[in-house]
């Protein structure tokens, strides 16, 4: 562990001397899920040395420790990241994946990532929840570039098929409608052009967004198993008459909150 990371870990452990097994990253407008935790310990990003801060609205920048409890059920210890830092905020992928390194150093072996994304698949509707089966990295960037040791490892990042199967089964068992698809990562901060969306659709993308992929790459290198869900907050450029805006993204995220909460809760119980 680097000195920087161990200083962050020491600060977190002094507040929350707990070993989480699952790390959950909550994307744009989805941070309220953290309110459902029990036995919560909340730590602000600003209280942790070296921890990156997000400047985007809808990203609280807090780490929560807690469990979900429902009747007699209780999940394993969770660490929840409310909000994330995007590449377009800092052009530093080291900062973007720093929370993943923190999660692993705290003991988490499973990463559960969520995000808001634009629908590229014409059969999708805003409000759909999509299990991320695979991704396309449209940026040409990679958080492992220059990382000592990682180059020779020849990592093949992927979402964990077993976790995906559990998640699909859970959705089915609880009659929560979901989609399945490929997430395409772009740098942002601009939205895409209609021509870019046509290209992405042709390349096999079902959704597009500005996050998640670097986190999954970092998690793979750290040996973590990863599961991902996109909340389709809008149809991508050219696929809808609505004018795209961050307000629409957070608005839709709000309307799917109940379904999103139920799906995440049941999956977290199934994984515990």
Which residues are known catalytic residues?
28, 59, 86, 88-89, 116, 210-211, 234, 246
Rounded Cα–Cα distance for residues 243 and 250 (Å): 14
Q: Which stretch binds ligand HPA (CB under 6 A): 60-68, 112-120, 143-151, 217-225?
A: 112-120
118 binds ligand HPA (CB under 6 A): yes
List helix spans (H) across 189-234: 194-203, 213-221
210 binds ligand HPA (CB under 6 A): yes
Q: Give the footprint of ligand HPA on residues 137-176 (CB under 6 A).
A: none
Q: Which stretch binds ligand HPA (CB under 6 A): 34-42, 126-134, 204-212, 255-263?
A: 204-212
Distances in Å between the alpha carbon of 237 and those of 48, 99, 131, 248, 258? 38, 30, 21, 13, 26
236 binds ligand HPA (CB under 6 A): yes
Helix (H, G, I), strand (E, B), or coil: what is residue 116?
Answer: strand
CB 126 within 8 A of CB 234: yes
Helix (H, G, I), strand (E, B), or coil: what is residue 23?
Answer: strand
Task: Give least dist CB 178 to ligand HPA, A.
Answer: 18
Q: Specify the residue, 110 or 234, whose C-beta has the smaller distance to ligand HPA.
A: 234
Spatial neighbors of 199 by CB under 8 A, at least 6 apart, are none
Rounded Cα–Cα distance for residues 43 and 51 (Å): 11
Q: Which stretch binds ligand HPA (CB under 6 A): 16-24, 67-75, 115-123, 137-145?
A: 115-123
208 binds ligand HPA (CB under 6 A): yes
Task: Give least dist CB 130 to ligand HPA, A.
Answer: 12
- The owner of tokens 């150093």 is 105
Rounded Cα–Cα distance for residues 188 and 209 (Å): 8
Q: Specify the residue, 66 or 181, whose C-beta has the smaller distance to ligand HPA.
A: 181
249 binds ligand HPA (CB under 6 A): yes
Among 111, 234, 266, 271, binds ligand HPA (CB under 6 A): 234
The phi-psi region of residue 81 (left if phi > 0; otherwise alpha if psi is between -120 and 50; otherwise beta) is: beta
117 binds ligand HPA (CB under 6 A): yes
**Binding pattern for the stretch 29-58 against ligand HPA, x by CB under 6 A and - elsewhere:** ------------------------------
CB 18 within 8 A of CB 43: no
116 binds ligand HPA (CB under 6 A): yes
Q: Hey, what are 107's tokens?
A: 């003991």
Residues that bind ligand HPA (CB under 6 A): 116-118, 191-192, 208-210, 233-234, 236, 244, 249
């Amino acid at each position: 562990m680097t000195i920087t990371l161990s200083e962050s870990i020491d600060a977190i452990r002094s507040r929350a001397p707990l070993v989480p097994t699952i790390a959950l990253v909550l994307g744009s407008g989805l941070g309220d899920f953290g309110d459902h935790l029990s036995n919560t310990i909340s730590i602000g990003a600003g209280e942790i040395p070296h921890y990156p801060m997000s400047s985007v609205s809808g990203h609280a920048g807090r780490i929560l420790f807690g469990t979900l409890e429902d009747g007699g059920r209780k999940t394993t210890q969770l660490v929840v990241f409310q909000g994330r830092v995007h590449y377009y905020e800092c052009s530093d992928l080291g900062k973007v994946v720093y929370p993943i390194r923190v999660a692993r150093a705290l003991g988490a072996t499973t990463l559960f990532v969520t995000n808001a994304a634009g629908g590229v698949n014409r059969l999708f509707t805003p409000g759909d929840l999509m299990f991320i089966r695979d991704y396309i990295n449209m940026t040409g960037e990679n958080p492992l570039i220059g990382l000592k040791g990682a180059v020779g490892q020849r990592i093949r990042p992927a979402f964990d098929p077993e976790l995906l199967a559990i998640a699909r089964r859970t959705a089915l068992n609880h009659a929560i409608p979901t989609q399945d698809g490929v997430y395409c990562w772009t740098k942002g901060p601009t939205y895409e052009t209609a021509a870019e969306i046509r290209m992405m659709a042709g390349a096999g993308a079902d959704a597009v967004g500005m996050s998640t992929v670097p986190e999954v790459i970092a998690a793979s290198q750290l040996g973590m198993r990863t599961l991902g869900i996109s909340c389709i907050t809008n149809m991508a450029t050219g696929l809808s008459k609505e004018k795209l805006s961050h307000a629409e993204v957070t608005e839709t995220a709000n309307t799917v909150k109940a379904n999103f909460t139920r799906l995440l809760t049941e999956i977290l119980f199934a994984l515990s």
